[in-house]
Structure formats: structure tokens, C-alpha cells
Structure 1
Amino acid sequence: MLRYLAKRGITYVVMIFLTTSAGYFLAVSSLKPALLEQERIPRPTPEQVANSMRLKGLDPDLNAWERYVGWLTGIVTRWDWGRSPNGAFINAEFADRVWISTRLFLASIILTLIIGVALGVYSAARQYKFQDRVVTSYSYLAYIVPAPIAYFLVQLGAININETVGQRIFFVTGISTPGMSPGWDQFVDMLAHYAVPTIAITLVGWGSYQIAQRQYLLDNVNADFVRTARAKGLTRNQAISRHALRVSFIPVAQSIAFTIPAIFAGGFFAEKIFAWPGVGSWSIDAISLQDVNAATATLAYGSVIFALGAILADFATTLVDPRVRVQ
């Protein structure tokens, strides 16, 4: 299993490199950081703009390939991802934001997977009953509603709860209250700020897992291997939990590679709506600010998230599918 995961890991490293490199060339060809310099007051001369860009590693006289070689050399030799048009170092900005986004996405992904699979099993065990119809209907609704709209509705609901109660229970913007002293109060404040965006991402994300788990489990409930297990003396619930559930989870585990990046992409909008200074909001700002290096760094982060999701999917598949372990 370790050899299998190692081979897959090498493939994903190559994928991250190629994706990031392609993203850099795309950013260089479409983003024009010199435009921000030209809009300064007093308006600088073309020579001043060019000199400012050179100091930040964004020499406009170099072609795309030459800029790429210099950028890649800085990463390989010094782990230097360059600077933004405003002079800020990408490394420092990225280090602050990546921890904020990772904490939010990690909690949301874990809750999404657990709740989605559990509700899928729950609804499959109650096929066509009231509970099944309610849960599955919500899942389809969450699946088709655009994520930004769903996040906004959750935020609006939290605001209405605060107004109804007459005090602030949920924080709908920001990651913390300024001026909090370290300790228990700061920890509680952090959880209060995490609650609404985490709930929003989870409510939107678990629908696809619930639908998939329910369908795959129902497809295997009456399979030959389940009937064979029952013929050997197992009850229906024992046969389903020991055999059908494990088989039905294989395709769900494989889908983790795609649903985690989807949650990550939706989290970009969540950060913007809930005013979280994470990688998501930074990437959106990078496009509007013509920031080539920041846009490429966020793309690299997204590629790493996809690779981690794929590795997690491969690992989960090897645990539940003995055929993969044998191969």
C-alpha cells in the first residue's frame, strides 16, 4: 500500500508543478501589474513605472519565459515567491492567510464527510419514508443552489437570530474580536467566529455525499453477496453493515478527490462573504489588483489541496477495497 501511495504522490507532485507553471504563464499574459503604478498620483513616467516593476521582480522588459525562469529560480533556491505590485512579500502574506483558510476548510471538510455519509446511510435504511424524503430533498436543494447564495442565506439567518434574541450569539464577519487577551475568552471568541462560516460550508457540502452514499448503498442492499451473507446466518442489518456498507463506500471514497477541491473553491466565496482574510479572498483580490505572483501562489495552494484530496481518496480506497491492496 505504501508503494502504491508513493507512486501516486509522485504523480501529484508533477501535477502541482505543471499546474502552477501553466498558471504563472496565464497570469503573466492576462494580468498587467504596471497598470496600478500608472494610476498613482502624481502620475509616474514610464521609466519610473519600469524601474518600480524591476525592483519587485516584475521587469516588463523580460518576456514570459525569462520572468518564469527567474521566478522559479527564486522558489527553488530561496523559497521566495516574489512580491506584489504594492511591494508586499508573497511569502509573508501567504503564511498568514494559508493558516486561516486551512483551519476553516479542514473543519468543514471533516464535518461534510461525516455528516454526508451518515445521513446517506440513515436515509437508505429508511428508503421512501418521510425522513428519507426530507433529507434527500434538502441534499438536492443544497446541490443545485449556488454556493454564494447559500452562504449569504446562512449569514442572513444568523443575523436574524441575533436580532430575535436581542444579543450577538453568532459573529457573521471577521475571524476574531480585536483586543481580546490570550486565554479562554479568546478561544471562545474564535469558535464563535468560526461557527457561521463552518456551518455554511458544511450545509452546502454534505448534500453530494448524502446522495451518493444513499444511492450506492441501495444498489448493494440486494446484491448477491448480501444475500449470501444472510444465508450464512447474518441478520439484514449485520449483512448491510459488514458488507454492503463497505462496498458502497468505495466510490464515495474515490469522490473525495473531487469534492474536497469543490469545497475549497466554494470556500473562496465564503471567505469573501464572511470577511475572512484567507487565501480565498486574497486570490479574488489578486485578480483585481493585477497581482501575478499572488494569483500563482493561490493556484499552487489549490493544486496542493486537490493533491491532498486525491491522496486521501487513494488511502481511503486502499482501506475499504482489498483489490487495491493486492495490486
Structure 2
Amino acid sequence: MIVVATNVTYLLAAWFLDPRSNYRGLRPVRMEDQIDRALAPYNVVLHFDWGKSPVGAPVNSEIGFRGVVSGQLVTAATLLSVVASVALSVFTASRQCGWWDRVSQLVSVFLFNVPTAVAALAVVLAGIWLSQHLGWATSAAT
């Protein structure tokens, strides 16, 4: 699914985005042949080579590296969610029909109905808030 999503995103970007507009806005103004020469190294899709990033790094190696990091994050998140959910389930089951059971049911129904994008944004904003209040934020982020 990740490979399909990545390739669909790339194809949509290739069809709808105009990389020439980045060069047309530069001063001094670039001629069309200068823009063609500047964009030529980035246009090698048919050989499963996604070219180079705007800073010149090969995109294929970046995808591999970021895929490993994403896999680590997914694995850690899955393990953490399983451990936390089993622990909360056992704790709640031991206090069945009590106030803790009712509160956890209410929270779980609410969180189950929150869209994933909204929950992800809430986690990011909570992380930013937490890092700023604990002094972890750098001066560039604040």
C-alpha cells in the first residue's frame, strides 16, 4: 500500500505541479533552454530512478532510509498501543460496571470516532506544546 501511495503521489505531482515555475520566478530571469538544462537531471522516472532532490541527493536512497525510519515508528507505535490497550483492558475489566469502566467506555467511544487526521494533528500539537513547556524546543521552532 505504501508503494502504491508513493507512486500515485509522484504521478499526481508530475501531472499537476509545474517545476518550471520555480525557475521562472528567479532573478535574473532564466531562459527556457537554461530551465531545460537545469531540470534534465531530475527527469529519469522510467528506470525506477526518482532522480535527485532539489539539494542534489538521490531520492532513491532517501526513500530507503525514510522507509526504515517509518517502519521503526510504526513498530514502536504498534507495540506501545498493544501494551497500553491490554493493560487498560485488564484494569478496566477488573473494575467492571464501576465509574472507571464507564469513563473508559466514554473515552474509547469518543476516540474511536475521531478521524485519524484529526487525531494525528492533535498528537502533533500536543507534542509541540509539551516540548515548548518542557524547554525542549529550539529557538528556531519557537
Same fold, TM-score > 0.5, yes or no: yes
**Unmatched 5+ stretches in structure 1:** 1-14, 58-69, 163-167, 174-273, 275-327
Mapped to 2, the partners of 1:20 and 1:154 lie a distance apart of 26
CA displacement at 1:141 relative to structure 2: 4.2
Q: Percent identity?
A: 28
Q: How big is each residue's C-alpha offset from its partner over 1:110-143, in whole Å with a ceiling of 9 and x where there is no partner?
A: 1012212332343344333122123233334444
Note if 1:132 corresponds to 2:106: no
Q: How does 1:71-90 map to 2 (within 5 A)?
A: 71-72=45-46, 74-75=47-48, 80-90=49-59
Q: Counting helix residues as a fraction of each chain, which structure ranks higher?
A: 1
Q: Look up the match of 1:29.
A: 15
Note if 1:116 corresponds to 2:89: no
Higher relative contact order (CA 8 A, sep 6+): 1
Q: Look up the match of 1:155.
A: 128
Mapped to 2, the partners of 1:138 and 1:132 lie a distance apart of 10
Q: How many pairs align? A: 135
Q: Look up the match of 1:46.
A: 32
Mapped to 2, the partners of 1:154 and 1:19 lie a distance apart of 27
CA displacement at 1:39 relative to structure 2: 2.1
TM-score, reference length from structure 2: 0.68
- Give the 3 Å change call, closer, same or farther, for CA 83–132 of structure 1 in structure 2: same
Mapped to 1, the partners of 2:4 and 2:67 lie a distance apart of 21
* Residues 123, 136 of structure 1: 8 Å contact kept: no
Mapped to 1, the partners of 2:4 and 2:131 lie a distance apart of 42
Q: What amino acid sits opposite 1:155 in the alignment?
A: I
- Give the 3 Å change call, closer, same or farther, for CA 126–106 of structure 1 in structure 2: same
* Residues 42, 50 of structure 2: 8 Å contact kept: no
Q: What amino acid sits opposite 2:124 in the alignment?
A: Y
TM-score, reference length from structure 1: 0.35
Q: RMSD over aligned Cα, in angstroms?
A: 3.2
Q: What amino acid sits opposite 1:56 in the alignment?
A: Y
Q: What amino acid sits opposite 1:105 in the alignment?
A: V
